[in-house]
Structure 1
Amino acid sequence: MNDDRRSLLRRLAVLSAGVGLAGCGSVTDPGPGEDDTPTEGATRTTEGATRTTERSTPGRLANEWGFDDVVDLVDAGADPTGETPIDDVFEDAIGAETLLYLPPGTYRLEGSVAADDASRIGLAGDDATVVPPDGNDDVLFGFGWSEPIDAAFCRGITFDFTAENTGGRPLLARANDAVFIEDVTVRGEADVDQDLVRVDVTGSGGSGMVRRLHLPDGALGDTKVTGCEVGDSNRGDVSFVDCQIDGFPDNGLYANPPKGSVHVIGGRYRNNGIAGVRVEVDDDAIVRGVHVRCDDAEGAGQNMRGIRLRAGHSVLVEDCVVEMLEVTSSDGGITFASELGGGTVRNCLIRVDADDVNGLRIKRAANAESQHGPFVCDSITITGTASGGGAIQASDRTGLSFRDICIHQPGADRDGLHADYVDGEFVDSRVSVTGDAFVLTESRIDRRNVTVADGTADDDGGASSCGAADVGSDESIDV
């Protein structure tokens, strides 16, 4: 391994570890609203503070990413007015190890730009917008598609998908050692059936970071478009930090690699079908400080889950806020899928106003391997005005532990825990509902130090009675 590669991987590892350890604040503080936008020259960190950052020049960025060769594409002949396509300029500029720089402007592409012959590629923009041809359904930038390259970087690019019948994949990054994507935005509702951003770190020792990816406009509800996905060839560790992904019918973030770990740190995910955040990994998976909100019953896609733990044996969800206010349909705010072999959800606030929707749902085990857990729910608050159904529903599992649970749901005929063929414990908790606190079928639940009360209507949907600040149904989660 050469020194440049060692240095690059070390920088990515430190960055990933830093955001993973920092967390994203208490669940009682859902973060900034639309009026809390940092001023120019400042960047919001995962703790909610702001830090001043110097604008990176191409030279500074090349040094940071380890590139010796920098090409200013306007100097190389690219038209920054959007009138003349710049495909040829891109193709001519790509070398074995090149940082391509787009100054402020609008740039038109007519086809795909590949970097399969490069070993390392970087694309950096400064207030740069890339416009595909109308009706596009192809990949715009494919870095390492046919064969993985060593490293791929992209920062500061906006893709304009606002034209009718325009979509496709703006960016695919497939690299052995490192993938780094930061401050990339896609504008316009995707109205062709093609997932947007894909990331694959193909080396088992490689690292990936996707930070401040903004996909605010989603896709048409009758498509099967995913916002961002980890690809089938991933083997490394990938982190998603402070991303915004809204309105996709087939998952907002689909973090489903066959190998490697996934960390989802901070960020806002709104009105996505199937799940706002889906994780399924054999190795370590963490979802921390994420805010998921479903508030559009006419939204994108069906089954608007908040966070879906699809599979794995070491999955941790903590310090998250999930709001299920209005939905097309939903399996629950945070769901343990049938294939999940073990997981922990702790220190989370779940608000459910949508009737008959569970705050937590632990589904029937798919097989003996996924039946015994452990499945731990610790320091969870479930509030909101939902009527019917239960705040928690669990089926056909053993090794369940519910600790420090506070349920206050004053909606009509709302129950606390529904348990069918379950073995576990429910301790040091409070349940205040209008229906039954516990509805047990062939289940053994060891209950210790549990307070049960009749649910009464509160103006805040019950949050204050659990000692938690109300999230507020009118709060904006735009970032």
Structure 2
Amino acid sequence: MPEREEASTLSRLSPGVSRRSFLGTTGAAAASLSVSGTAAASSCSRQDAGDIDQDVDLKKASTDEVELQTEAPESESEPDIEYDEVINVVEAGADNTGGKSISSVIQKLAGDDTLLKFPEGRYYVDELVRLTGFENFGMIGNNATLVPAPADEYKSEARMFKLGVRYNPGRNLEVKNFTVDYSAPNTGLRAFDMSVSDGLIAENITFEGVHDGGTWGPMHVDIVGSDGYGIVRNVEIPEGGVFTKNTSQDAMPTVEWGPTAFLLSPYHSGHIELVDCVIGAFPDNGVYDSNSPGQVVVKGGRFQNCKSGNIRITGDNSGVYGAHIVIDQNRPLDDGQHGIRLDGGSNITISDCLIEMPQPNGHAIFAREPVESAVIKNTEIVTEDNDARDSVDSLAIRKGAGEILVEGCSITHNHPGQALQISEGDIPVIVKDLTLKGEATGESGGRNAIYCERDGCEFHDLDVDLPAGDHRRALGIFSDNVLVKGGEYASSGRPLTIEGSDVSVREITAGAYNGDVAVKVVEGAAELINNTLYQGISGSNVATSGNQYK
């Protein structure tokens, strides 16, 4: 993350004062910032240090309760598929010049223990090839391009290859090394529809052109066996898809909004990995786990400008590791483009991701009910200012979402709205080692960069620097039994606003660039212990001990 020039953020405080001296927890403050601690805190009612609980570990639940697994799981062993028959499809009668359909030839050749090899060439497909209940089937290309017929000439439902169904899946399937050519008008359809109980390898599949058929998206994959495994690697669908209303709607069937790039249905029950995949702007999600009970693990890859969710997952133990997500284009029908959506499940992980939103039109990450538990770790979010929406929250934890840990992340938030919004819920959210910067002024979209209305939340060792305007605030606490411990909070307006009971603020350094108080207790009750507070505190029902007022 680029560092800010010190002078630009500190000029509001006092000429010649560095951020280190403003936020240093030890050492003397500059004379230009020094005020009387007694005067700054004169409106607060105090109590003796002996009445204040100095042991924060006894006051709050241990954060170890949400230390969930955050390392990307090891890949399982790929199946070693053996074939009794290996067939060169051109030698068997398939045309590789693109002049004649291969559908009927492939339908006859496909079967158990069979590998079909596609030599270099172009293969025209105008009808569904369907194979179910198989064992050990493969299709491998060698510079082979599949060319679908236009939707108004396609002879069947808009699928090229349907390999297995949920009630009669295959077992051991590999599909490798194909290009699918959508460059001709009205040719977008589903290329590969695959359902296996176990043993899927799909890799090195590239889609060229825009999916413009107004029908099912390029790929649907389910591992229907609860102990089954599959891997999808190096699948690239970079040019996206067209909203159905903007297509000729000739395909059978049409879909309501538009295609999903990569779909997992509610029948996915096993474990699937998506490794180093690329997905462009699709109208109805990029990777979409449609409320399945299965595990979906995304490793690496780039996902860009999809409506609803670029990556959307649900199943237990699912996760996104090392992905790059970008929102830099908003089409007229893109009424919400989120980076990563967590729609359910437990032990969900987002780790080591980069989410860049030059044209923000939704949340970078959001978790909603019924998510039971999740970790968001070592992830960077950059949300720029634009006019697609009046207000955008970078990281949103919705009402009812469960046990969530945010650790080691950084957010640069330059758009009106919250950088982190924590809505009501029964289980606390823990935030640790978060770096928060940005140029949002707080004049619209909410003044508090972090907005917490959930009881029992904890904020440990945050580094917050928000110098823009005069109204931006760092942390607003609108809930009870919240702990703020360690860290540095600098904002253009007052850093901490408290409207809750039993709030404990300990060992922080805080100050406002506009000269406001560091902490204001609007209502409720709080204890402030061993803090360094520029311009002090205001409010009633405040217990203090060991603070320094600068």
Q: Deviations over 1:245-280 (max 9, x none)?
A: 110121100124532222111110000111111110
Match of 1:306 among 339, 344, 355: 339
Pairing 1:432–2:465 present: yes
- The CA deviation at 1:444 is 4.0
Pairing 1:452–2:472 present: no
- The CA deviation at 1:117 is 5.7
In structure 2, the partner of 1:45 is none
Match of 2:433 among 396, 401, 404: 404
Match of 2:161 among 141, 153, 158: 141
Structure 2 residue matching 1:437: 3-state secondary structure? strand
In structure 2, the partner of 1:28 is none
| Structure 2 letter corresponding to 1:352 | T
In structure 2, the partner of 1:345 is 376
Q: State the alpha-carbon separation in 2 of the partners of residues 443 and 410 from structure 1.
A: 29
Are the equivalent residues in 2 in contact too, given 1:20–1:265 (CA < 8 A)? no
Pairing 1:200–2:222 present: yes
Range 297-306 or range 94-103, more displaced: 297-306
In structure 2, the partner of 1:333 is 364
Structure 2 residue matching 1:147: 3-state secondary structure? coil
Q: CA 1:314 to 1:256, structure 2 compared with 1: closer, same or farther past 3 Å?
A: farther
Q: State the alpha-carbon separation in 1 of the partners of residues 377 and 454 from structure 2.
A: 23
Normalising by structure 2, what TM-score? Answer: 0.68
| Structure 2 letter corresponding to 1:364 | K
Are the equivalent residues in 2 in contact too, given 1:308–1:334 (CA < 8 A)? yes
* Mapping 1:143-182, distance limit 5 Å: 143-145=163-165, 147-182=168-203
Normalising by structure 1, what TM-score? Answer: 0.77
- The CA deviation at 1:19 is 7.3
Q: Deviations over 1:8-64 (max 9, x none)?
A: xxxxxxxxxx97449xxxxxxxxxxxxxxxxxxxxxxxxxxxxxxxxxxxxxx9x95
Q: Deviations over 1:300-335 (max 9, x none)?
A: 7321110111101110110000112104x31x1111
Are the equivalent residues in 1 in contact too, given 2:82–2:113 (CA < 8 A)? no
* Mapping 1:62-461, distance limit 5 Å: 64-116=80-132, 118-135=134-151, 136=154, 138-145=158-165, 147-191=168-212, 192-222=214-244, 223-256=257-290, 258-281=292-315, 283-298=316-331, 301-327=334-360, 329-330=361-362, 332-354=363-385, 356-365=391-400, 370=401, 373-386=402-415, 388-397=416-425, 398-413=427-442, 415-433=448-466, 434=468, 435-454=472-491
Q: State the alpha-carbon separation in 1 of the partners of residues 398 and 83 from structure 2.
A: 49
Q: CA 1:225 to 1:406, structure 2 compared with 1: closer, same or farther past 3 Å?
A: same
- The CA deviation at 1:71 is 0.5
| Structure 2 letter corresponding to 1:361 | A
| Structure 2 letter corresponding to 1:263 | V
Equivalent pairs: percent with the same residue?
Answer: 27
Are the equivalent residues in 2 in contact too, given 1:172–1:199 (CA < 8 A)? yes
Q: Deviations over 1:439-473 (max 9, x none)?
A: 232344311112111369xxxxxxxxxxxxxxxxx
- The CA deviation at 1:165 is 2.3
| Structure 2 letter corresponding to 1:320 | C
Question: What's the RMSD between the two structures over aligned residues?
Answer: 2.2
Higher relative contact order (CA 8 A, sep 6+): 2
Are the equivalent residues in 2 in contact too, given 1:406–1:430 (CA < 8 A)? yes
Q: State the alpha-carbon separation in 2 of the partners of residues 259 and 421 from structure 1.
A: 28
Q: CA 1:221 to 1:421, structure 2 compared with 1: closer, same or farther past 3 Å?
A: same
Q: CA 1:198 to 1:120, structure 2 compared with 1: closer, same or farther past 3 Å?
A: same
Q: CA 1:91 to 1:336, structure 2 compared with 1: closer, same or farther past 3 Å?
A: same
Are the equivalent residues in 2 in contact too, given 1:408–1:455 (CA < 8 A)? no
- The CA deviation at 1:421 is 3.8
Q: CA 1:271 to 1:455, structure 2 compared with 1: closer, same or farther past 3 Å?
A: farther
Are the equivalent residues in 2 in contact too, given 1:428–1:450 (CA < 8 A)? yes
Q: State the alpha-carbon separation in 2 of the partners of residues 441 and 201 from structure 1.
A: 44
Q: State the alpha-carbon separation in 2 of the partners of residues 99 and 445 from structure 1.
A: 61
Q: CA 1:300 to 1:216, structure 2 compared with 1: closer, same or farther past 3 Å?
A: farther
Q: CA 1:261 to 1:117, structure 2 compared with 1: closer, same or farther past 3 Å?
A: closer
Q: State the alpha-carbon separation in 2 of the partners of residues 109 and 266 from structure 1.
A: 32
In structure 2, the partner of 1:26 is none
Which structure would you say has the larger Rg? 2
Are the equivalent residues in 1 in contact too, given 2:264–2:292 (CA < 8 A)? no
| Structure 1 letter corresponding to 2:478 | T
Q: State the alpha-carbon separation in 1 of the partners of residues 332 and 287 from structure 2.
A: 16
